[in-house]
Structure 1
Amino acid sequence: MRILVTGGTGFLGSQLCQDLGGSGARLVVLSRRPDCVRDRCGLGVAAITAFSDLSPSLAFDAVINLAGEPFIGPRWTEARKKLLWDSRVGLTRSLVDYIGRAEVKPKLLISGSAIGIYGDQGDRVLDESSVPVDGFGHQLCYAWESAALRAAEFGVRVCILRTGMVMGASGGFLAPLLPLFRLGLGARIGSGDQWMSWICLRDYVAIVRWLIATPELSGIFNVTAPNPVTNRQFTETLSALLRKPAFLVIPSRILRALMGREMCGWLLGGQRVVPARLLESGFRFRCPELAMALRDVLSRPPGVTGVSP
């Protein structure tokens, strides 16, 4: 199987490429840093810097689109918002334009999105049919998804991954927190009542493989574990597993001052998301509970996905 990957040198993309390449897939990765591709994705992975590097006659079985600047980072100034938009919506539009020009269309496009599309809806349980709350996060993710879904016009099966907070030993939201929690400096954020819909890296990779292998599946999928937790529950569970105290609190007003109101709202506003369509499809989560997932991540050295049973 030949697969084109965008965003292959990022945290998710590099782990996915290593897993797929290890299973025999032939990978081509689009990257602004082609010199990093072999180190991050595997020795046999080819690198390109633009879609124009690809011949229209080159056939791919699948395309995986994970490119995009991180949501959490510098303040969401207008310039930052444009960068977030262009790196997702703009690139996805260019990718689908390439698919339209290809002489042989891929059978499948898997394209990223985020559960931030739903907005802050308090304690409401959200599945793929839930109506989003408007805001920059919703507008960005909606445009991103719409750009990818256009590939269906060319007969391509499209799967959209509305991904939650991914936990892994070498990246994701957990990696920068671990040193603090190990020092006993773990802290809940604000009230701690906001919901965190998470997914372990092991299950994320397995979900992508499941969608590749199940041709009857298409459309929107929430890529989260079936048991979301509050920030307070997350803090208590991680500190207990590490046997360290976590009595600190980061006040909401401090976060707003540091990060700005919009990005702070993204962080403090929770989404209680469930993966209804994955469960209906028969996908079996390896780590459905937070404590189980944290034990799995903490037991693995950085860079190991641990997808195999």
Structure 2
Amino acid sequence: MATVAIAGSSGLIGSALVYALRATDHQVVRIVRREPANSDEIYWNPDTGEFDAAALRGVDAAVNMCGVNVGAKRWSGAFKQSLRDSRIDPTEVLSQAVADAGVGVLVNASAVGYYGDTGSRVADETAPQGRGFLAQLCRDWEAATAPAQQAGVRVVLTRTGVVLSPRGGMLSRLRPLFSLGLGARLGSGRQYIPWISLEDQIRALMFAIQTEEVSGAVNFTGPAPVTNAEFTFAMGRVLNRPTPLMAPGFALKALLGEFAEEGLLGGQRAIPAALERAGYEFRHHTVGEALAYATSTVEW
């Protein structure tokens, strides 16, 4: 079985990946910013570039899930800089260490925000970079893997959509509102939501680690993206609650500023062409299946 080193292992996706890898007898090494508690942890300080690449000797794959949540707060200039710093600097440091240590695979987080607001246009991995802060952030984030790519490492750039999880993530904020009958479409509701269940996110990450044919940009989204209005209706149906309400776009912009414009009122009709071409088989094919799983299951 493979030895996998993971940075960002305490987040929603990282912690679930650790659990799944260990459950299938893989060895997991956590890359941590504090003093290591045991031999399964490696210290680094990406802020200063401190990382002993020798600690990655014998590691088969590295996974980088670092990054502050883009929806954690209103997008001030300082917060936007923290979004960049929490992604680009750690990626550069880990990418160089992976190259120096001769690790064979680097699976690096990215996001479908790379495509900007695609409207109704379908976006596979060949779609161009879009406009806006998120698109530029994703471009620079992916470019930070250059040291590993130049060293011949197989690099997978996981352009992830909205992860539907039994715990945490977007649903942890939405479920209480929908349960009270306060679920609402956002603005026109025509913007697309490129969802993926947490189970498929983790299975696809493990698939990417193990599958030589998977490299470059890969959309980690479900096979059937839906509009915000369709998502709202599906969420209400799963929870057996009405969803007649609408949150006006101008109110969201007034409350949340630039994040509302890019993160809530825009969207990506992204499809997982690269994953499906490589032979990945989804567990959840529709948003209804993914929501039923995410609202009735407790995992990791």
2:183 aligned residue: 186
Cα deviation for residue 61 of structure 1 reads 0.5
> After superposition, what is the alpha-carbon deviation per residue over 1:75-121, rounded to whole angstroms, capped at 9, x for unaligned?
2222111111111011101112222332xx11100001000010012
How far apart, in 2, do the equivalents of 1:215 and 1:125 lie?
Answer: 26
For the residue of structure 2 that corresponds to 1:142, the secondary structure is helix
CA contact (8 A) 1:9 1:31 kept: no
2:242 aligned residue: 245
1:100 aligned residue: 99
Cα deviation for residue 45 of structure 1 reads 4.5
1:197 correspondence with 2:180: no
For the residue of structure 2 that corresponds to 1:176, the secondary structure is helix
In the alignment, structure 2 segments of 5+ residues that lack a partner are none
- How is 1:3-42 mapped onto 2 (pairs within 5 angstroms)? 3-32=4-33
Aligned residues: 295
Cα deviation for residue 130 of structure 1 reads 0.7
How far apart, in 2, do the equivalents of 1:27 and 1:245 lie?
Answer: 44
Residues 164 and 287 (structure 1), Cα distance of their counterparts in 2 relative to 1, 3 Å cut: same
In the alignment, structure 1 segments of 5+ residues that lack a partner are 305-309
CA contact (8 A) 1:204 1:223 kept: yes
How far apart, in 1, do the equivalents of 2:42 and 2:97 lie?
Answer: 17
Q: Which stretch of structure 1 is more off in the superposition, 123-132 or 44-53? A: 44-53
Q: Which amino acid aligns with 1:90?
A: D
Cα deviation for residue 23 of structure 1 reads 1.5
Cα deviation for residue 146 of structure 1 reads 1.0
1:279 aligned residue: 276
- Of the three residues 42, 45, 52, the one matched with 1:50 is 45
How far apart, in 1, do the equivalents of 2:295 and 2:268 lie?
Answer: 25
CA contact (8 A) 1:118 1:138 kept: yes
For the residue of structure 2 that corresponds to 1:56, the secondary structure is helix
Residues 186 and 44 (structure 1), Cα distance of their counterparts in 2 relative to 1, 3 Å cut: farther
- Of the three residues 265, 283, 288, the one matched with 2:285 is 288
Q: Which stretch of structure 1 is more off in the superposition, 291-300 or 105-114? A: 291-300
Following superposition, which runs of at least 4 residues in structure 1 exceed 2 angstroms of deviation?
30-35, 43-55, 99-102, 261-266
CA contact (8 A) 2:71 2:259 kept: no
CA contact (8 A) 1:28 1:48 kept: no
How far apart, in 2, do the equivalents of 1:85 and 1:149 lie?
Answer: 16
TM-score, normalised to structure 2, is 0.92
Report the aligned-residue RMSD: 1.9
